[in-house]
Structure 1
C-alpha cells in the first residue's frame, strides 16, 4: 500500500486528530489559520481551537488576486498562475504559523483548505438554462500538501455542487455538529463579505436545519471605502457610516432585487452585490450626488436589512432564538446596533460564548468538514434541494 494512503488510513482510524483549517474570504486581508483538536465524528464530534492567527497578505499579492476576483473578463493566464501561487503562499503561511506556535509538521494530521473564491455562479445569478450551478476556488491543494508534507483536503464546494447544491454556504455541516443545543433554537450568523446564517432548531432535527446566504455583509461597504478612501480597507468601527444619514430612496432601490424573495437556502456573491450594482441603484433612485458618509450609512442599513428580513422569515418574532455572531461584520457597532433594534426579542452573542473565537469560526468549520471526510459519514439532512447529505473535499497526498 502507498505509504501516504497507509498514513491516511491510520488517521481515519484515530479517535482524535489535529487539523489545520484555512479560510481566505472576500476581504483578502490575509489567511485565517486555525489549529483544531478534533475528537470523534458525526453527532459525537468535539472540537477545541488550540491556536488561531490571521497571516496578513502582502499588498502585491492581494492586488494580484483582486485583479482576477469576481471578473468575467479575468486574464486566464493570471488565473492559472495564481492557482499555483496561492497554494504555495498558503503553504508558506501555514509553516510560519506552526513555527510561531512551536508545533511540528509531524504533529499535524490534516490541512483543510477552502482556497480563494474568485467567481461564484449559481443559476440564480448566471440564468443560463443549459449550464449548472458553478463556483471556482483556487489555491491548489497538491502544492500545499507537497510543500508542507501534510495530507491536504481542499476544493470542498465541488461535491456540494455535484450533489445538487449551489456550492455555498457550507456552514450548516459544521454548525449542526458542534453548535446545536437541545431545547434552544439558535441562529449562527456569519457576517463576512456576504452575510449568511445557519438555523439550528432546538429539537435537533437535521431535516429542519439549513444554511443560507441572505445578502451583502461587508463586501459593498468595504469596496466603497477602498474606492473612495485610498489606503483604507474598511470603515473601522463604522465611524464614517455613523456620521452619515441613510437615504431611504437609495435603500429601497438596493433592496429591489429578486434575490431577496428567493426561498431558502440560496447563495450569492460580490458578482451581484458589486459597486456596479450600487451605481445602478443610485441612478434609479436619483442619488448619484449623495455624500460618502450618507452612502456608507445607507449601505450599512442595506446589509442589516438583508439579515433582519431573512431572520424574520425564518423565525416568529415572538419566539426569537439566540443569535451567535461571527465574521468581520460583528466588529461594526452600527451594523450590530441596527440588528438589535430591529430584533429586540432576540438574544445576541458571539461564538466566544461557545468557546470558538468568532474570527476563527469559518476556518474551524473547514477543519470539521475535513474531519468528517476522513472519519465520518454523511449526515442525513433529508431529501431537500440545496442541502445534499455529503462529505466534501479532494484529498492531496504529499508524495
Structure 2
C-alpha cells in the first residue's frame, strides 16, 4: 500500500485525532489557529479546544490580499502567485506556532485549512442563466502539507457547491452536529465580514432547521473606516457611537433585493462594498454625509438586518419555548452594534457563544477542524440543496506531505 494512504488509514482509524484548524475570513484581519482534540465522528463527535492562536496580518499581507480578494478584476498572475505564497505563509505560521507550543508536526494528525475566499459567486449574486453556484479560495493545501509535513485538508466549500449548495455557511453543519439542545431553541449567530446564523430547534420542537447569511456584518463598516479614518476597524464601535444614523439612507440600503431573498442565501464583499454604498448614497442625495454618520448608519444596517432575519424565524416559534442567541465573530466586540442588536431583539436574550462552553473567537477554525475530522472518519453531513435529493456529503480535499 502507498505509504501516504496507509498513514491516512491509520489516522482515520484512531479513536481521537489532533486537528489544527486554520481560518482566515473576509475581514482580512489575520489567521486564527485552533488546536482541537476530536473524539469519534458523526453524532458521537466530541470536540475539545486545546489551544488558540491568532496572527494579525501585517499591512503588506493585507495590501497584497486586497489586490485579489472580492474584486471584479484582478491579475491572473497575482491570483496564481497568491494561491501559493499564502499557503507557504500559513505553513510557516503553523510551524512557528507548534514550536511555541512545544509540539512537533508529528503530534498533529491533520491540518484543516479554510484558505482565503477571494470570490464568492452564488447564482443569487451573478444571475447568469445556466451557470452554477461558485466560490473560490486560495492557500494551496499541497504546499501547506509539503511545508509542514502534515496531512492537510482544504477546499471545503467546493463539494458544497458540487452538491447543489452555495458553498456557505459551512460552520452551520457543525453547529447542527454539536450544539443542538434538548429543550432550548438556539440561534448561533456569527458576525464576521458577513453575518450568518444557524437556527437549531430544540430536540423536542417540530420547527425547521435554518442556516443562512443575513447580509453585511463588518465588511461595509470596515471598508469605510479604512478609507475615511485610516484604521482597520471601528474598535468597540466608538466611531458609530459618535455618529447619527441617517434614516433615509438606511431605508434605501434595505431595499436591496438581497434582503428580500428567501433563506437560505449567501453573499459576500462582491456585493456589499464601497461601490454599493456610493450607489445608495447617490440615490438619496446623501453624497456629502459625514463619515461618522455613515459608519453609524452601516452599523445600524448590520444590526437591523440581523434582527430582521432572526425575527423572521423566531416569530414562528411556540411562545412557550422562546429562543436564545449566542454570538461569535469579530462583530461581537463592537459594543455599539451589540447594544443596538440587543435593543432590536428586545425579549430575545443575546449572549456570547462562550456561554455554552466554547471560546467564540475559536468557533470558525474549530468548525473546519470538525469538517476535516468527518472527512477522515465519518459518514458525512446530510445537506438539503434548494433542488435535488438530500444526501450525505463529506467536505475537503486531502493533500499528502509526500
Q: TM-score with structure 2 length normalisation?
A: 0.96
Report whether the alignment pairs 1:286 with 2:285. yes
What's 2:242 paired with? Answer: 243
Tell me if structure 1 keeps the 8 A contact 2:32–2:54.
Answer: yes
1:323 aligned to which of 322, 325, 334: 325
1:330 to 1:72, Cα distance in 2 relative to 1, 3 A: same
Alignment correspondent of 1:257: 256
1:109 aligns with 109
Supply the distance in 1 between the matched residues of 2:348 and 2:387 (Cα, whole angstroms).
Answer: 29
Note if contact 1:22-1:363 (Cα within 8 Å) is conserved in structure 2: yes
Taking the aligned partners of 1:204 and 1:22, their CA distance within structure 2 comes to 35
**Helix, strand or coil at the partner of 1:359:** helix
Distance change (3 Å), C-alpha of 1:383 and 1:301: closer
Aligned counterparts of 2:342 and 2:73: Cα–Cα separation in 1: 40
Match of residue 369 from structure 1: 371
Partner of 2:61: 61
1:297 aligns with 296
Aligned to 1:396: 399
Looking at structure 2, the residues matched to 72 and 14 of structure 1 have their Cα atoms a distance apart, in angstroms, of 45
Over 3 Å counting, the alpha-carbon distance change for 1:90 and 1:97 in structure 2 is same
Alignment partner of 1:343 out of 342, 345, 348 = 345
- How far residue 250 of structure 1 moved from its aligned partner, in angstroms, is 0.5
Q: Distance in 2 between matches of 1:37 and 1:149?
A: 19
Using the alignment, how far apart are the partners of 1:126 and 1:381 within structure 2?
A: 23
1:161 deviates by 0.3
CA contact (8 A) 1:216 1:303 kept: yes
SS of residue matched to 2:96: helix
RMSD: 1.6
Correspondence for 1:29: 29
- What's the offset of the Cα at 1:28? 1.2
2:360 aligned to which of 358, 361, 376: 358
Structure 2 contact 375–395 (Cα < 8 Å) conserved: yes
In the TM superposition, what is the alpha-carbon distance from 1:388 to its structure 2 partner?
6.0
Q: Which residue of 1 aligns with 2:149?
A: 149
1:288–1:155 Cα change, 3 Å: same
Give the deviation of 1:380 after TM superposition. 3.1
Deviation at 1:356, TM superposition (A): 1.6
Q: Distance in 2 between matches of 1:217 and 1:86?
A: 25
Unpaired segments ≥5 residues, structure 2:
none
Corresponding residue of 1:185:
185
Shift of 1:207: 9.3
Q: For this pair of structures, how many residues does the alignment match?
A: 398
Q: Distance in 2 between matches of 1:7 and 1:212?
A: 37
Q: CA deviation at 1:389?
A: 3.5
* Maintained 8 Å contact 1:172/1:209: no
Dislocated runs of 4+, deviation >4 Å? 204-207, 381-388
Greater shift, 146-155 or 1-10, is seen at: 1-10
Gaps of 5+ in 1: none
Q: Please give the secondary structure, in 1, of the residue aligned with 2:393.
A: coil
